Amino acid sequence: MKTPMICQIEPATFLTRSVTLPVIDVRAPVEFSQGHIPGAFNLPLFDDAGREAVGTMYHHSGQDAAIALGKKIAVLAKNDYLSTLAGITPGKEILLHCWRGGMRSAEMAKLFHIAGYNVGLLVGGYKAYRRYIRQEFGRAARIIVVGGFTGSGKTEILKEIRTLGEQVIDLEQIACHKGSVFGALGQPDQPTNEQFENDLFAFWNRFDFSRPVWFEDESRMIGHVTLPDPIINHLNRGLLLVVETELPYRIARLVNEYAGFNRALLAETVLKIRERLGGTRTQEALIALDQGNFEQVAAIVLSYYDKAYQHSIGRRDPSGVVFFKFTDNDIRRPAASLIKFVKQKSL
C-alpha cells in the first residue's frame, strides 16, 4: 500500500485533474460565495465567524496569537472535517486550495494526509487560479460571432449550431441574463462577476482551439456582470456574421418570449429605457401594454434597440462583417448556412 502524499500542483494541471478528482476549497463561506472553481466543495477551515475572530486576533495581538487561535479552532473541528470529506468522496485522493496556498490549505492538507488521503495542493491557491484563467482567456483563438438585431433568433441559432457539433459559448446562459433591459425576466439570480468569469472559463478551457469558437454578439455588460477584457477583444476582432430576419418574425419571437410576464413588471421594465425611447414613445408603449397589444410594444422597443445595434455594427471594420438574410423563422437553415460559410472560408 502506497504512503499518502502531499504534492504541489500548478493551476493548469490542477484543473485537468479536477475533471476526475474532487476539489476542496477551505476558504470561509463568504469567500467561496464570492467566487470559486466550478464544481468545488466548500469545506472551510474556519466558518465566517471563525475567520473574523482570527483576523481580529491578528490585528490586536499579532500573527503568533492568530495562528494559535486558528489551530485551536481546527483541532476542535477535526472530526467534523473528516466526516464531511468522507461524505464528499469515497476515494482517497483529493485536490485542495485556500486563497494564496498558505497556512489554511497547509493545515488541512496535513490533517487529511494523516487520515490517509493523497492531497494535491494548488500552488498559489485560488489567487493563482484567478490569475491563470485571465491569462488563458487571451490565448489565440478563431472567434466567430453571431450577431443580429434583437429578436432575430441569435441565441436559438447558436444552440442549433452547438447541436450540429460546433464549439459554442452561450454567454447569456452563463450570465443568467438575456442582455437587454428585459433580459433578467424569467432568469435565476445572476452570479457575482467573479463567479461569472470562473464559469465562463470552465467552458473556454474545454475547447479545441484549432477549431472555431462561436459566440453571440454581446456588449461589455450582460446585466450586472462584465465580460473579461480578453473576451471583449476576441468579440471585437472576431468574424461577425449578422443574421437579418424580417421584422414580423422578430416581433412574434419577442411576443412569444415576454408576453406571458406580469404586465406591471413589463411596464416597469419599459420605464427603465424611457430616456432612450423618449416620452411620447414610452407612453405609446405603456398604453399598448395596458391594452394587451404586445406586438405594438415590441415594435416600439425594437425601434430603440435597432438604432443602437446599427450603431454598434457601424463601429466595426466592414471587412470583418458578413450579412445573411433569411425570410422565414426556421432556425435550422441559418445555423447550417453559417457553419457552411465558416468551413468554406477556412479552406
- pLDDT of 98 reads 96
* Residue of 258, 266, 261 lying closest to 282 (CA atoms): 266
pLDDT at 45 over 80: yes
CA distance 239 to 176: 25
CB count in 10 Å sphere of residue 55: 13
Weakest mean pLDDT among 68-82, 88-102, 153-167: 68-82
Secondary element (H or E) of residue 299: helix 294-314
Q: What is the DSSP secondary-structure string of 225-271? A: EE--HHHHHHHHHSEEEEEEE-HHHHHHHHHHHHTTS-HHHHHHHHH
- pLDDT of 88 reads 94
Domain 140-346 has CATH 3.40.50.150: no
Where exactly does CATH 3.40.50.300 map onto the chain? 140-346
Give Cβ neighbours of residue 336 (< 8 Å, ≥ 6 apart).
Answer: 164
Q: Which amino acid is at 75?
A: V
Q: How many residues does the chain have?
A: 347
What digits encode the pLDDT tens for the residues 154-211?
999 999 999 999 999 999 999 999 988 999 999 999 999 999 999 999 999 999 999 9
* Residue 76: Cβ-neighbour burial (10 angstroms; 0-12, 13-18, 19+): exposed
* Residue of 114, 100, 102, 84 lying closest to 24 (CA atoms): 84
Phi-psi group of 254: left, alpha or beta (phi > 0 → left; psi -120 to 50 → alpha; rest → beta): alpha
Mean pLDDT of 215-232: 96
- Whether residue 176 lies in the annotated active site: no
Mean pLDDT of 221-241: 96
Q: Which of 23, 54, 74, 98 is catalytic?
A: 98
* Residue of 253, 221, 235, 222 lying closest to 149 (CA atoms): 253
* Residue 127: Cβ-neighbour burial (10 angstroms; 0-12, 13-18, 19+): middle
**For the domain 6-134, what is the CATH code?**
3.40.250.10
* Residue of 222, 178, 167 lying closest to 196 (CA atoms): 222
CA distance between the termini of the chain: 55
Q: Which amino acid is at 215?
A: F
CB count in 10 Å sphere of residue 48: 13
Q: Distances in Å between the alpha carbon of 197 and those of 137, 204, 230, 288?
A: 10, 10, 11, 39
Residue 130 pLDDT grade (very low, low, confident, very high; cuts 50, 70, 90): very high
Weakest mean pLDDT among 31-35, 65-69, 227-231, 297-301: 65-69
- pLDDT of 318 reads 92
